[in-house]
Structure 1
């Protein structure tokens, strides 16, 4: 396995070397780096031109400039990167650091959400093949995949930001809209649950009543502007997450696994109360990451203690449950500070920028502000990826479900949950792993348009600026990030292959 990974790294580095040389040459011949100065009427025009020639090394052949850049990149192995300066004399390494953080914050979140939603929808459509739900998802997948990014961004700005902010100022829902929303959501839910006509009708009826009543209660109690909830709903939601995770992984028959998950919920909820002062004002996101790591470690210990003969499954279920409960705690803190944030920012969903200039608030209010800036571009990038993941997952699941070992598992009397989760799902993930690896790097490249539309100062702006100014240094910085991301994700895909299919290790 180690030899295979090293060989892949070597091949990837050779590909990057050739691609970087080609890209550097293409940028240098794409225009005239002195075009703006040649058209200038300034008295010191020649002085400015000479200064730029020296800064960019335009008096040298392109390959000499490329070798100089490559030498600076090679110094990164000694932790002394020299990535050059822009034509204005600004260190591109500093620009790349700020831009990469901004872009990766967007792309990582969009990728994670797309994987979770896309894979889940793909599995459901495979299990409901040729149903109304399957046809609807197929239609939406092709629609989202075909949407022009800039046009979809304009629609999101209009309906997801401008009109939503107008509604949030006075969140009233008319009876007609309440009924329509309840009908649509109830129809979607009964399509997902499936079953016979009686079961579908019962599911749809219960969902309709519950959604309609919830919307009315939310409106009357002002929940849309102040949605804070206490520890009891948090504990109930956490227990539901524990039961759901146990059901999907091992089934409720494994009592020790269920007890481990429920114990994890109790410890995380109690821990969030005991560390209330730290959680209310952590000061930095690193503290939250540390608390999450502590929760996962605690969950693993609980799973090991409760597991018995099912220790491995108990530890896995406890870790997943801890992650879900931590997300619930995070959502509860966001809900708690949502009302105070609206006082500072009456129109929360922004159409431009990665943060509100000059915003001054508490840690959680600042967290919400940065989170709301992510909403629209994340949705835009996620929709395109969800369309791909759902289609690939559906196709892979349908292929796996027709295999002999799946039919054998069913003939042995195993439950459908066990057949799907233990025998089919794991093997169906192997093709998806490849798609995820390439899609992550592709999203960074695709974020160029998204960042431009939403006014984000990330890698997209760095790339576009370098291209417009015929300056290869910023463009190569963009290439360095995207190429490294592609190599890293492919290495993670190789490791995931070995984990999903032990035969690959040999």
Structure 2
């Protein structure tokens, strides 16, 4: 495996080298970096042209400039990268640090959400093949996959921000909206549940009633503007996550699984209660430390009480703890939601990655709220298109695996259906999807150029676009190196993940 990794690194570096030569040459020949000065009527025009020529070294062959840029990049081997300077003399290192942080935050969140939701929908569509759920998911996936990103981003700005902020001034639900949402939720739930028509009808009815009651309570309590928060959120999440992950990764018939996952959830809840005071104004290190402590406790409990199914139970416990941690963050954000509305007035932002001169910058949760509300729309724009591709690939891969002999053998041996799906079918179906994950992450960074333009983000897209218009190669090459490097790393990660998913590859 070590030789394999070294070989892949060598090949990847060669690919990046030849691609960098091509990109650098294309950029420097794509236009005239002095065009704006040539058209200027400024009396100091000639002097400014001479200064820019000296700054960008336009009097030297582009190959020489590329060689100097490459020597600066080679310094990364000594952890002293030098990406050069833009035409104004600013360090590209500093510009890249600001831009990459903004874009990676956006793309990483979109990738995680796209993977989780897309794989889940694709899995359920394959299991419920040719059902109403399957047809609905397929139709929606095709719509989002074919919809241009800039069109979808504009629609999100109009309906997800402008009109939503208008409605937030006096948020109320009319009865038609309540019934419509209830029907959609009921159709979704009954399509997921397998069984007789009577059972599905019962699930649909209960889901419809639950959705209607929840919306009516939210409307009556003005929960949209003043959400009722508290420990009930982590507790409800602990129960729901325990049920979900036990059913997916273990078995309710296994008492050790119920005991281990339930004990892990209880341990995490105890940690949250003990540190409740510190969580009022925490730091990222405190939140990360609590999550790590919860995971360590979950692993310890699962290893001691897990029995023969320690591995599956451990993963169920870990995901339950992570879900509780997410619920804690949502709980504290809800506690500060009304204060944030009072400060901002129109909380869902349509431009920028943060509010300039934000008054709540000293408060951890208000600052996180501001960052999150700026993330919502651009992340949703990238996520929904990513979900569409993951859904289609997962469904196709899962259907192919379900027709294999080893799946039929597992069923013939009398294994429970969830065991057949999770341990035999799903794991093998992940192999093709893993390849898509590797390409999608780097592809989303490229696609973020358009999304950042629509939402006014100062990220990698803005850095790339500005430099390309100015025929400024160093910032463009920084964009190329980040996206290309991520593509190489993600492909290598996919290769290593293959060996984890399929033990045959290790040999």
Note whether the superposition's TM-score is higher than 0.5: yes
* 1:416 equivalent in structure 2: 417
Instruction: Work out whether residues 299 and 322 of structure 1, in 8 Å CA contact, stay in contact via their aligned partners in 2.
Output: yes
How far apart are 1:5 and its partner, in Å?
1.3
More deviation, 329-338/110-119: 329-338
Instruction: Work out whether residues 5 and 494 of structure 1, in 8 Å CA contact, stay in contact via their aligned partners in 2.
Output: no
Instruction: Work out whether residues 360 and 366 of structure 1, in 8 Å CA contact, stay in contact via their aligned partners in 2.
Output: no
Matched residue SS, 2:6: helix
How far apart are 1:194 and its partner, in Å?
4.1
* 1:114 equivalent in structure 2: 114
More deviation, 244-253/194-203: 194-203
Answer yes or no: is 1:374 the counterpart of 2:375: yes
Pairing 1:114-193 to 2, within 5 Å after superposition:
114-193=114-193
Matched residue SS, 1:83: coil
Aligned counterparts of 1:348 and 1:276: Cα–Cα separation in 2:
27
How far apart are 1:68 and its partner, in Å?
0.5
* 2:237 equivalent in structure 1: 237
Instruction: Work out whether residues 233 and 328 of structure 2, in 8 Å CA contact, stay in contact via their aligned partners in 1.
Output: no
Instruction: Work out whether residues 126 and 398 of structure 1, in 8 Å CA contact, stay in contact via their aligned partners in 2.
Output: yes
Aligned counterparts of 2:372 and 2:213: Cα–Cα separation in 1:
29
Aligned counterparts of 2:43 and 2:189: Cα–Cα separation in 1:
71
Pairing 1:210-225 to 2, within 5 Å after superposition:
210-225=210-225
Aligned counterparts of 2:250 and 2:177: Cα–Cα separation in 1:
41
* 1:486 equivalent in structure 2: 487
How far apart are 1:51 and its partner, in Å?
1.1
* 2:406 equivalent in structure 1: 405
| Count of residue pairs the alignment pairs up | 505
Matched residue SS, 1:355: coil
Aligned counterparts of 2:311 and 2:423: Cα–Cα separation in 1:
14
Aligned counterparts of 1:312 and 1:398: Cα–Cα separation in 2:
26
Instruction: Work out whether residues 75 and 82 of structure 1, in 8 Å CA contact, stay in contact via their aligned partners in 2.
Output: yes
Matched residue SS, 1:60: coil
* 1:286 equivalent in structure 2: 285
Pairing 1:32-431 to 2, within 5 Å after superposition:
32-282=32-282, 284-361=283-360, 362-431=363-432
How far apart are 1:233 and its partner, in Å?
4.5
Residues 115-153 of structure 1 show CA distances to partners (whole Å, capped at 9, x for unaligned) of: 000000000000111111111111111110111111111
Aligned counterparts of 2:498 and 2:71: Cα–Cα separation in 1:
35
Aligned counterparts of 1:473 and 1:208: Cα–Cα separation in 2:
57
Q: Which runs of 5+ in 1 are unaligned?
A: none
Instruction: Work out whether residues 306 and 314 of structure 1, in 8 Å CA contact, stay in contact via their aligned partners in 2.
Output: no
Aligned counterparts of 2:290 and 2:31: Cα–Cα separation in 1:
51
Aligned counterparts of 2:307 and 2:211: Cα–Cα separation in 1:
41
How far apart are 1:54 and its partner, in Å?
1.3
Structure 1: which 4+ aligned runs deviate by more than 4 Å? none
Residues 401-427 of structure 1 show CA distances to partners (whole Å, capped at 9, x for unaligned) of: 000000000000111111000100000
How far apart are 1:257 and its partner, in Å?
2.0
Answer yes or no: is 1:452 the counterpart of 2:453: yes
Aligned counterparts of 1:306 and 1:212: Cα–Cα separation in 2:
41
How far apart are 1:81 and its partner, in Å?
1.3
* 2:500 equivalent in structure 1: 499
Instruction: Work out whether residues 33 and 472 of structure 2, in 8 Å CA contact, stay in contact via their aligned partners in 1.
Output: yes
* 2:478 equivalent in structure 1: 477
